[in-house]
Every structure is written in structure tokens, then in C-alpha cells.
Structure 1
């Protein structure tokens, strides 16, 4: 059976908006997009909807296994206190079944029109949920280890976990510049390059990260001391963290930089000169939850970068909803146009996760999912805008 949906606008993402257009879908596959008053629809039963039809959303950064930490962390405390709270809470017996929390989070994302997720995992616990889910998952097996002498053992454990996640798509990736030694970086870089894997890393989520790499100063020194980690080996780089670790990666490595809250214009110029295939991922609601600050979005707009969106985890967000992230961005940066940011929420993420052949845009033959955004002002989001999954 073919279903016909008409709306105030259809946003194909890879093409121009179609005002009062109609989209034909059969078993999730897009058959055609029709212009207003197309004669081909004369004898068709068309469901008329108010709002804007867009493809299914792509969430490039999530931590499904942290779902049980919802409402367990203070807001606005800063990154280091947030990390300490997460570590402390994870060491306690969970107050609810983590598997049930992950299943609920997965259902939440599905209901909110998310069709693909780049998910961070430190353990195997999320595999069962991912295998049952209608959502596509790429798992980033995340490694943490700042002490060089532990690098080989940590990497081997990560490689074993990577194997456990098969047949699901996965990569072995670093957590963050401040938590991964140069030696461990090299192990992962070699592995990702040899396996053709995607690489994701938390980047410049706090100014303390830049202080550590520039001057070997700031709150991270106390953080390591509290964890009894000796960092006498670490030398200040006299430059920000992103400029310090990117040279450790293969030149052709596909890289996702997540958060970028304290990324500077000099960092962006450095990344451009490096000629690496870099995608930036913004998680605005999590940034506000942790640091009460958003990235300087304007800096990224004119440099031809692939820009994407993520939700981060329920430990740092009240909802796993890409529309909510869009609303936060548009409220903070009113000059943004939905016809541009919808690409961040769909096709750009699909391209990074290498699923754009089927997801990310409304094109013939694709099965990208279909979302209806309601309570719009033309093609502009409002604080009341909501998403309904159609297909």
C-alpha cells in the first residue's frame, strides 16, 4: 500500500523545500515527491498534515549505557565535577536496571524520530538493546588511559570489546585528549586506519582541557592527583588540545570532534590547514547542562565543515531528541535557517556514519524515516515545535 502525505512544506534536505508538496511512501521507501496540485495525485487519497516533513534524524553522539544516570548529575557544575560525579555514581549499585533504562532511552529516540545513532560504549551492556532496535547504531568503543605504560593492555581490552560487538558496526576510539596517552592514541589511530573505522573523540568541552595542553596548569592537575595518576611524563604543548592530538592521526582518517565548546578560531584554521576529513558534532543541551555555555557556532559556518548534532547521554540531558537540540540552537543563534541546520540533523550525520545511501534525505528509493515537525512558523522553529514520527 502506498501512503501519500502532504504538508505545508517538505524538506528533502538535498533539494529545495517543496511548499504544499506531497510525498509517496511504500513500506518506508520513498517513491516520489510531488509539487503542489500535481495532476498525478488527482485520484489519490492524500493525508493532509500541518507542519514540515523532514527525514529521520541522525544522532551522532550518545551514551546509551549511561541512561540510568538520568537526573543523577548537578547542572552547571563544569566538566570536571560532572566527570567525578559520573565516575562516583557508576561505582555504586544502580538504582534501576541499566538494561531497562537503555531500552527506555532507545524507545525515546525512536519516538523522537531518530533513525541512526553514533553511540559511545565502554562495556558490552548495550549490545542486546542495539540488536533489537529498529534504530541503526554505530558503536564507538571508547578507551580511557592517560598513563603510557598501560596503553598496550588498555588497547587490547578495547580490541576485544570491539570483537564482542560484532556483527554490529563498531570502532575503537579515544575518550578525550586529557584521558588518552599519545601512545594509546597511536594504537587506536593505527587500528582505525587499518580497519577503515570511523574515529570519534570528545573535544574541548572545557577550557581546563586547553589549559592543560597549553601550560600544564588548571583543574585537571588536581583531578589526576585525586585519582592517584602520575602525569610527570606529560609536557605542555604550548597549543590547544585539538592542535596537539590531530597530528597523531593518519592524514585520511575520518574524524568526529564532539562538543567543541571551547574551540577557537585558531583551532579551526589549524584544522583547515591539516586537510583532514573532520566533522564537528554539537550537543547544545548537554553543553548547557555541564558548562552553561554553547560553542561559537558562527565560527564553524563559513569553513565548509561537515556539521552534525548529538544529544549526549541522559546523564547530561533531559531528553534524547534532535529537534530539542535544534530548538536550543535556533533560540541562541536566531540567524540560523532551518533549511541549513536540518542538514546537520540528517544528511551530514548520515554521511559521517556512512549510511547516507539509505538515510538522511528524502530521495527516491531511500528509507530514511519520515518526521513531521508541527507548530512551526513557516519554515522557522518555535519554542512549541514538536516532532511526530510518521514512518
Structure 2
């Protein structure tokens, strides 16, 4: 059997940083054979400056929106961003498919090996069938009018079945967001998705909390624009997360995407529900998308005692200039210097793999895994990792 041997300034295993006197050994397909000291590694060692890491896990993406790259202005705020997506997402099938193909190729070039992908349509199914990347498909359902819940659920189930036939262990039916899913629809989704992995957009704007606290804020304008009757809605006088967390508590794992306006009280609630319901919650940061949409960032305290439960996503090319986890990591590191580069690499590798239930193959340099091997020449100046195997 032929082996590949890699020696760098730092081998990041997914959970720890090893010094330069270690050598990573894989077979030619990238399966991890061992990590040994350099005296035991023998000959033909490839030597690099910088960091070698497992491939990245992109825990929140919208591949089907890739054709909207550069079509939506920056800093519009959440409501106008949503309205722009709804107005502009229709496009010729050929354009949509080419954009999906190009976006996937970009992720591969940027060292991404697995993706948690939000799906409202079957547009990405043909590309995913090529198995270039691992995908967990989150089939997203929305509908804030209670009387329409069954209709919206049935529409989502049609998309779910299309994916589930091909990816039976990689498909979940999930709610879009607290502000777009009625209690009736939450109940239907919860009954279908018990013990599955869920993903939900969480507290991406201040207006989301305002809606649930006092039935005020910019989301009222969204519903008016969309012709949605809000007469049924009674504010809970709690945050949006507090208002919906019970509907997430039957899941095995729940990925909360964005978390820009998540409070310390919300974080304590998450911990309480994790213990009470056995659901594992993950905070998925998509900082470049939030900068694009509203120039907003999560508060500093989100990193306090939460690093093991933080994962990283790119969101979509409708809300980001690239699908590049390394760029996300570097931006987080600049904004929150208390989170070290290696802690953030763990968020983007091992944590992400655990969140998507794929730690048996991805996320770390454990013997027998095939997690991808990427090289970051210089953390401060390198914008793209290089795939080694």
C-alpha cells in the first residue's frame, strides 16, 4: 500500500494542535492511517509551512440560491432582504443549475467536504446525486397562517420524499424560522422530525424578537407586503427562541443558524432544554452573511463557555460574496479575538461533523476516517486552503 506523509508547523487534528515534530500519514485516498513522531515516519515526507487540518464542514448553506449572487444589495436589513429573495429567486432552469454547479465547485476548492444545506425546492438534487460532497438536506417548510399549515406541510413533504428516496439518512424536514411557522405547522413538523437533526433560522434580526415580545417592529411590514393576515397572532411577550424552543425539543440535534440577537437569557434557556429534553443545540455562526444583510454581529458573550457547541456556516451566495469557511473563521477571529484560530478550526471541523452526525467519517484525523486533508499556508494571509488529498 502507498502512503502519503505530511509534516507542517502544526497538525490540527480537529480537536488539538500538534507540534511540527509530528507526521500525518494517510493512504492515497485520504484515509487516516496514523499520526506519528517524525523519527518513526520514515522517508518521503512532504513538508509544509503553516497548518494541516481536516476538511471544513459548512453547517448552513442555501445552495439553491446560488444564482442570486450579486443580485441583492448589501445592508438592506432582514425584511428587505427577504422581499428581494422572493422577488428575484425565479430564473431560467439552466441558469439555476449552472450556478449550483459553480457554487459546489467553489466549496470544494475552499476545502469544504460536507454541507448542511437548506432546501425549499428540488433544484439541487441533480447536482447532489453526483456525490461530489456530503450533504445533509434540511427540507425547509414555512407558513405563518394556521389554516394553511397542513397544505404547507404537504408541500414540504413532497420535496422531502424526493430527497429521502436518494439520501434516506441525510434528509430532515425542518421549520424555516419562528416568525414564519405557525404553531399548527410547528406541531406537524415536530411529529415528523422527532429524533432527527433540525435546523432553524434563529434571531437573525432584532425585529424577530420585537414581533414576539410586543407584536411590533419591521416584520409587520413584511407580512403586510406579503398579504398575510396577522389577526390570529398573539405576542408571547418572550423572545422568538423562547417562544418556539418547545417545538425543537424532540429533535436529536438542533442547529440554530445566525443567532445575531440571541441573549444571555436565551443561551441559559438552551442549556436548560439541552439537559431537560436531551436535544443537543448548536449555534451556527454565519458572520459574513449577517454583515452583508444588516451589518450586525452576535454579541461577544456567545463565545463564553459555548465553543464546543458553535459551528460555522456560509449562508447563501444571495447574502455572501463567497462560500468560504476560512474567510468566516478569519472574520470571527478578527471580531472576537478571544476565540483562537484553533478553537475556531474545531468549530469548523469536529464540531460541525458532530452536529451533522458524520463524525464517524469527517471532522478529525482519527484512524480510519476520510475527513479530507487541507493545508492553510498562513492563517493571517491565506484566503483559500489547498486540498492535499
TM-score between the two structures when normalised by the length of structure 1: 0.94
Q: Which residue of 1 aligns with 2:104?
A: 106
* Partner of residue 333 from structure 1, selected from 333, 336, 361: 336
Q: Which residue of 2 aligns with 1:265?
A: 264
* Partner of residue 304 from structure 2, selected from 298, 301, 304: 301
Q: Deviations over 1:210-229 (max 9, x none)?
A: 00000000111111111111
Q: Which residue of 1 aligns with 2:159?
A: 161
Contact in 1 for aligned 2:186/2:247 (Cα 8 Å): yes
Alpha-carbon distance between aligned partners in 2 of 1:105 and 1:133, rounded to the nearest angstrom: 14
Offset, 1:179: 0.7
Answering whether residue 50 of structure 2 is matched by residue 51 of structure 1, we say yes
Q: CA RMSD in A?
A: 1.5
Residues 358, 98 of structure 1: alpha-carbon distance in 2 compared, 3 angstrom cutoff: same
Q: Which residue of 1 aligns with 2:187?
A: 186
Offset, 1:181: 0.5
Alignment map for 1:62-81 (pairs within 5 Å): 62-81=61-80
Q: Which residue of 1 aligns with 2:127?
A: 129
Answering whether residue 385 of structure 2 is matched by residue 387 of structure 1, we say yes
Residues 206, 273 of structure 1: alpha-carbon distance in 2 compared, 3 angstrom cutoff: same
Alpha-carbon distance between aligned partners in 2 of 1:170 and 1:89, rounded to the nearest angstrom: 27
Q: Deviations over 1:133-176 (max 9, x none)?
A: 32100110011111010100111121121111122121111111
Alpha-carbon distance between aligned partners in 1 of 2:130 and 2:212, rounded to the nearest angstrom: 42
Alpha-carbon distance between aligned partners in 2 of 1:62 and 1:107, rounded to the nearest angstrom: 14
1:132 alignment partner, SS class: coil
Q: Which residue of 1 aligns with 2:147?
A: 149
Q: Which residue of 1 aligns with 2:283?
A: 280
Offset, 1:310: 0.2
Alpha-carbon distance between aligned partners in 2 of 1:286 and 1:257, rounded to the nearest angstrom: 15
Q: Which residue of 2 aligns with 1:378?
A: none
Contact in 2 for aligned 1:279/1:306 (Cα 8 Å): yes
Offset, 1:95: 9.7
Contact in 2 for aligned 1:57/1:345 (Cα 8 Å): yes
Offset, 1:385: 4.7
Offset, 1:16: 4.2
TM-score between the two structures when normalised by the length of structure 2: 0.94
2:148 alignment partner, SS class: helix
Q: Which residue of 2 aligns with 1:41?
A: 41
Offset, 1:52: 0.4
Q: Deviations over 1:330-361 (max 9, x none)?
A: 11112221221111100111011111001000
1:137 alignment partner, SS class: strand
Contact in 1 for aligned 2:197/2:251 (Cα 8 Å): no
Offset, 1:303: 4.3
Answering whether residue 354 of structure 2 is matched by residue 356 of structure 1, we say no
Offset, 1:8: 1.0
1:294 alignment partner, SS class: coil
Answering whether residue 349 of structure 2 is matched by residue 346 of structure 1, we say yes
Counting matched residue pairs gives 380
Alpha-carbon distance between aligned partners in 2 of 1:185 and 1:113, rounded to the nearest angstrom: 35
Question: Which region of structure 1 is more displaced relative to structure 2, 102-111 or 336-345?
Answer: 336-345
Contact in 1 for aligned 2:193/2:251 (Cα 8 Å): no
Offset, 1:73: 0.7
Q: Which residue of 1 aligns with 2:199?
A: 200
User: 5+ unaligned residues in a row in structure 2: which ranges?
Assistant: none
Offset, 1:274: 1.9
Question: Which region of structure 1 is more displaced relative to structure 2, 277-286 or 265-274?
Answer: 265-274
Alpha-carbon distance between aligned partners in 2 of 1:84 and 1:176, rounded to the nearest angstrom: 15
User: 5+ unaligned residues in a row in structure 1: which ranges?
Assistant: 376-380
Q: Deviations over 1:189-210 (max 9, x none)?
A: 11001xx321100000000000
Alpha-carbon distance between aligned partners in 2 of 1:95 and 1:191, rounded to the nearest angstrom: 31
Alpha-carbon distance between aligned partners in 2 of 1:360 and 1:149, rounded to the nearest angstrom: 43
